[in-house]
């Protein structure tokens, strides 16, 4: 059996860690925040390691650098402090909010495990055959590629105005634009 690690309110440490990550995946800020602060201050370093891992495993985009900046800030505030003297739980709270509200994607973790598992399950010949299939395959170039920046798009009469409008409308996980309402 493993260690019987307990958090400040007596929760099983491993259950809290699992609840933290799974609640972030589901965007549950309240539960994720509670679980993160349940790990504070006794398991603060572990909490940060878990938050950094979540940023890579479960989140879309470049959010890891933001979490790392909060981690670094936490350490600046706590220089020379230990244990119950730790301050700056606001940085953990901010990290949780960012992780819960950003776009979520499991792609990096799936890719990592897919490649690792495939490497373990397939022979070298099977891997080479799979690579050959990918190399031999050809994808069609989608119509949206042909805009005012390509020869074919220019020949089709595509304009810069169309480019701005079409690309704005095509954004995935669109955030509020500074230029919302501006006629392009």
Q: Are 36 and 11 in contact (CB under 8 A)?
A: no
Contact 119, 127 (CB under 8 A): yes
Could you confirm whether domain 13-101 is CATH 3.40.50.280?
A: no
Spans of the chain, pLDDT less than 70 = 1-2, 113-122, 127, 130-131, 134, 138-141, 171-184
pLDDT score of 122: 61
User: Pseudo-torsion of CA 33, 70, 58, 36, nearest 10°?
Assistant: -20
Longest C-alpha distance within the chain, in Å?
70
Which SS3 state, helix, strand or coil, does residue 59 take? strand
| pLDDT reported for residue 151 | 85
User: Is residue 110 packed enough to be buried (19+ CB in 10 Å), middle (13-18) or exposed (0-12)?
Assistant: exposed
Provide the 8-state DSSP code for 118: H
Can you tell me the distance from the alpha carbon of 169 to that of 136, in angstroms, rounded to the nearest whole number?
33
Cβ neighbours around 47 below 10 Å, total: 26
Q: What residues does each domain of the chain span?
A: 13-101, 107-136, 141-169
Residue 76 CA to residue 86 CA, distance in Å, equals 11
In whole angstroms, what is the distance from residue 55 CA to residue 64 CA?
Answer: 5
- The SS3 of residue 12 is strand
User: Measured between alpha carbons, how far is 105 from 119 in angstroms, rounded to an integer?
Assistant: 23
What pLDDT score does 71 carry?
97
Provide the pLDDT for residue 112.
Answer: 73
Angle, vertex CA 25, rays to CA 119 and CA 102, nearest 5: 105
């Amino acid at each position: 059996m493993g260690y019987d690690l307990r958090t400040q309110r007596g929760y099983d440490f491993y259950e809290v860690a699992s609840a933290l990550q799974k609640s972030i995946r589901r965007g549950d800020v309240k539960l994720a925040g509670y679980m993160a602060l349940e790990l504070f201050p006794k398991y603060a370093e572990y909490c940060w390691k878990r938050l950094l891992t979540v940023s890579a495993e479960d989140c879309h985009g470049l959010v890891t650098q933001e979490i790392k900046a909060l981690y670094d800030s936490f350490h600046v505030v706590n220089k020379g402090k230990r244990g119950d003297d730790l301050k700056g739980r606001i940085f953990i709270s901010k990290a949780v909010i960012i992780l819960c509200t950003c776009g979520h994607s499991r792609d990096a973790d799936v890719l990592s495990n897919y490649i690792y598992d495939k490497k373990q399950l397939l022979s070298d010949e099977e891997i080479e055959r799979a690579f050959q299939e990918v190399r031999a395959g050809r994808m069609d170039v989608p119509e949206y590629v042909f805009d005012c920046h390509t020869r074919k798009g220019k020949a089709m009469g595509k304009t810069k105005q169309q480019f701005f409008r079409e690309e704005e409308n095509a954004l995935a996980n669109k955030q509020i634009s500074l230029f919302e309402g501006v006629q392009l």
